[in-house]
Amino acid sequence: MLRTRWILLLGYVLLSLGVLVGALVSPAFRAFSYAPLRELFLPPSDPIVVTVYYSTEKEAWLQEVIEDFYDTRPMLQGHPVQLELSKMGSREMYLAVLEGEQPDLISPASSLQIALLQDLSRSKFGYAVVNPLDESMCRPVLRTPLVLVAWKERAEVLFGASDNVDLWTRIHDALNDPQGWAAYGHPEWGYVKYAQTNPLKSNSGFMAILLQTYDYLGKTSGLTEQDILSSPEYQQWFLEFQQAVPEFGDSTGTYMRDIIAYGPSKHDMVAVYEATAIEQMENAVGRYGELRVYYPPSTVMSDHPFCILDADWVSPEEEKAGRMFVDFMLEEGQEKALLGYGFRPIDRGIALDQRGSPFIRYEQNGVRVDLPPEVALPAGNVLDTLLEFWRRNIQP
């Protein structure tokens, strides 16, 4: 019996030493080595570093999810996974890639920018560095539509008390009426003040001009370059709308904070993300009346895709580590996105009307679970034409 125990002990020691030696030779054996010996004798493995460019709208949620990710001590082939993050605007992000920067993973605010990068990188490099249709490389992780936030008293004068299919048309007409609010029986309100961000700098402004274009043309799919370049009636309407906007800011969040801080003296209505409206809704209570959310007749999603770049600077290990992180966000970060930040989860199994949901809390402010129909995402060259038309005619 004693001899058997000694044989087993010797076998265990030899096996442990063998794994330890293996771990010295190959980090893949590291996880199997005895922890005290591993920490005492083995040098730490070099991390697999994944460089991530991300848009700022999801920063608070993303930082929280990253902390949870690190708490799991993520490892790949014996190497710890490390994320190196840089925040930037969505347009700034894809332009940086086109100008030679080499992130492994990018996450603009919307697939609009991914479509643009796909088209522009194909033209510049001869191949597309992203493919939004390849789910192994490019997946949305959050959803939030564009909405209008407006002071109820003024919105009901302009839109009526119910959902309004002519929302963009009525805003256009009101912005271009020289009488301003006087044409609606309220001269004391001055001119109608609508605000949106600069579509060249901010995704929400880009989404706004896309919805306005689709709405004028009376469709929700099939937008073409010819629609933009060959219709004088559309061009006149679009330019009248955009030229009547007093200023184009760079930040969606700034507009939401300003309408709350300064009230209708600065903005009657602003185009923002639904999640941004939800985040700030509590701060509007008791200020300048009731602030409400209004949904355009058709909508477009800010879907926050995380895309691994299909480029030679992304190693197979970085690609796998990036996919590991995206999997984690989709598996562990969805309910937190809803309850803590007002995003719509990609996981449709998570109920928007569950207990504690902001979609229930702010229902009386116009926030709703159901959405208007989504417009189709145009091809990258069409999106680029729309932006270029705006830049040539509107850019401050």
Instruction: Report the distance separating Cα 300 and Cα 143, nearest Å.
Output: 10
At residue 22, the pLDDT reads 46
Rounded CA separation 45/79 (Å):
5
Residue 268 has pLDDT above 60, yes or no: yes
Q: Establish whether domains 48-143+303-345 and 144-302+365-393 are of one fold.
A: yes
Q: What is the pTM of this model?
A: 0.86
**Residue-wise pLDDT tens digits, 56-112:** 899 999 999 999 999 999 999 999 999 999 999 899 999 999 999 999 999 999 999
Q: Which long-range contacts (CB under 8 A, 24 or more apart) does 57-62 make?
A: 57/109, 57/203, 57/252, 57/253, 57/273, 57/275, 57/276, 57/302, 57/304, 58/107, 58/109, 58/142, 58/304, 58/341, 58/343, 59/87, 60/341, 61/142, 61/333, 61/336, 61/337, 61/340, 61/341, 61/343
Map tokens 């629609």 to a residue: 227
Ramachandran assignment for 126, one of left (phi > 0), alpha (psi -120 to 50 degrees), beta (any other): left
Contacting residues for 369 by C-beta, under 8 A, at least 6 apart: 352, 353, 359
Q: What is the pLDDT of residues 156-198, one digit of tens each?
A: 999 886 666 789 999 999 999 999 999 999 999 999 999 999 9
Distances in Å between the Cα of 158 and the Cα atoms of 155, 173, 192 are 5, 10, 10
pLDDT tens for each residue of 5-64:
555 445 544 444 444 444 444 444 444 444 454 444 555 689 999 999 999 899 999 999
Spell out the residues 6+ positions from residue 198 whose beta carbon is closer than 8 angstroms to its own. Answer: 205, 248, 249, 250, 395, 396
Q: Which fold has domain 48-143+303-345?
A: D-Maltodextrin-Binding Protein; domain 2 (3.40.190)
241's tokens: 């709308």
Q: Where are the domains of the chain?
A: 48-143+303-345, 144-302+365-393
Domain spanning 144-302+365-393, CATH class? alpha beta
Residue 221, φ and ψ in degrees, nearest 5: -155, 170
